[in-house]
Amino acid sequence: MYLPAGVLLLNPSSNLVVRPAEEFCMSMSIDVRSADRTPGTPARLVAPSPCPVAAPETVVDVLFPLVDEEEWPPYPAETIDAVLIAHDLAEIRGIPWFVTEVSCGDIVQVRHDGIGYVGGGIVSRSGHSTVHVMATSEADLAPIVRTLDALGARVASGLTPPMLTVDVPESCSLDGVLAVLTAAESMTCAYTVASRQHRTRAPRD
């Protein structure tokens, strides 16, 4: 595993890394890496699609400051994988762990602060929803992961306490996902809808 100089991996099974405070213009010393990226890996080029005219995609980390509400989330910032589609626009590809109102596929404004990209407002929404699940043990989450996967949701697990971050694409029923999570909800397992983009469907007559 590659880690840049000055970066310490806290937990190989999670996406948490510690960086020197001077790396962040806002003096942030800890950030959380979103799902789908090995901690510490640099920006990379993804192989182009089979179409010969397609250009390679530049994958970058986009930093989102986090709002501390009653000591949660426990980190001051989160970085999320995104594809740079213009000098000031990026398409989110990772699943956010703590950032709210942002989902995979959203196009967001970005700016380069001299160190890296910082996320801004959303320009276009993807229609995906994001759900965060927390439990006291991995055993509580295992059956949830299997069921959500069968429904067509994309699930990533990790962090401490055990958490899931769930990408619910438009093709997957958000109501179905929430029904599963509501049934699993208990004193040791809870969830929150971090980004709701599925349209409310009118009941049929």
Backbone phi, psi, residue 157, to 5°: -125, 160
Assess contact for 118 and 62: CB atoms under 8 A: yes
Q: How far is CA 44 from CA 14, 21, 58, 93, 94, in A?
A: 20, 24, 6, 13, 14
Task: Classify each residue of 75-88 as buried b or exposed e, where b means 16 or more C-beta atoms within 10 Å of its C-beta.
Answer: bbbbbbbbbbeeee
**Which domains are seen in the chain, by residue range?**
11-124 (no CATH), 129-195 (3.30.70.260)
User: What average pLDDT values come out for the chain (205 residues) when binned by 10 residues?
Assistant: 40 39 35 54 39 69 87 89 96 96 97 95 96 94 96 93 95 97 95 90 43
Assess contact for 6 and 20: CB atoms under 8 A: yes
At 20 the pLDDT is 38
| SS3 at position 176 | helix
